[in-house]
Amino acid sequence: MGLQDDVAKVLIPEDVLQARVAELGRAINAMYTDDNRPLLVCVLKGAFMFLADLTRHLEMRHEVDFMEISSYGAATRSSGVVRILLDLEQNIEGRHVLIVEDIIDSGRTLDYITRNLRTRAPASLRVCTLLSKPSRREIDVLLDFVGFEVPDEFVVGYGLDFVEEYRNLPFIGVLKEEVYADNEQ
């Protein structure tokens, strides 16, 4: 079918991905308890699929909330400033917040989000990301749980898109260069 033909190679196959998500679930289970329960903050749209699988492995009491953000475009990329389209429903003051992200690239967006959330005085703030591209990092961000470090390639699938396509591939693939030519991830 069409979408899969645009993928140059499978970087992380479905079974490897699912096994790692289960491992991350166990690591998170070891970090929190019912009495110190986390509020998982999912950053839309990219992280919804990861969140859906990750949370089904959690054993302690926890809650889920969503943020949707949008960048202002190239002019503000270096600052990481984003527009918050949907803010959290819950007040996070005194809560143990665990941000769930699909991918950390330059780190600037995550840095902006964590600075924003920290002003709300959570009891703790940690980050769980499925993918990290360390070679792209422009600002130091602390990642508490990382699924996979990936090389600087154009990755899609499992929530990650290219102009809204490929999100539903059940694996992480690398897009063929001719598909994304002239675009930047």
Partner 1 sequence: MKLPDAIERVLLGEEVIAARVRELAAQISADYTDAEDLVLVGVLKGAFIFLADLARHLTVPHHVDFLALSSYSRGAVSTGAVRLIMDTRASVSGCHLLVVEDIVDTGYTLDYLLRTLRARQPASLRACVLLSKPERRRVEVPIDYLGFEIPDVWVVGYGLDYADRFRTLPYIGALKREMYE
Q: Can you give the binding site for partner 1, defined by CB under 8 A?
A: 1-3, 42, 44-45, 48-49, 51-53, 55-56, 58, 61-66, 68, 70, 85-86, 89-90, 164-165, 167-170
22 versus 146: smaller Cβ distance to partner 1: 22
Q: How far is the CB of 158 from partner 1 (least distance, A)?
A: 9
160 versus 174: smaller Cβ distance to partner 1: 160
The answer to whether 101 touches 47, Cβ cutoff 8 Å, is yes
Instruction: Give the residues across from 96 on adjacent strands.
Output: 38, 124
Compute the distance between CA of residue 159 and CA of residue 48 in angstroms, rounded to an integer: 7
66 versus 112: smaller Cβ distance to partner 1: 66
List 6, 87, 105, 144, catalytic entry: 105
Compute the distance between CA of residue 16 and CA of residue 170 in angstroms, rounded to an integer: 11
Q: How far is the CB of 135 from partner 1 (least distance, A)?
A: 28
Compute the distance between CA of residue 125 and CA of residue 92 in angstroms, rounded to an integer: 10
Q: What is the length of the chain?
A: 185
Active site residue 144: no
Q: How far is the CB of 154 from partner 1 (least distance, A)?
A: 18
Residue 149 token pair:
């470090």
Q: Identify which of 111, 100, 110 has the alpha carbon closest to the alpha carbon of residue 159.
A: 100
72 versus 149: smaller Cβ distance to partner 1: 72
Just list the catalytic residues. Answer: 105
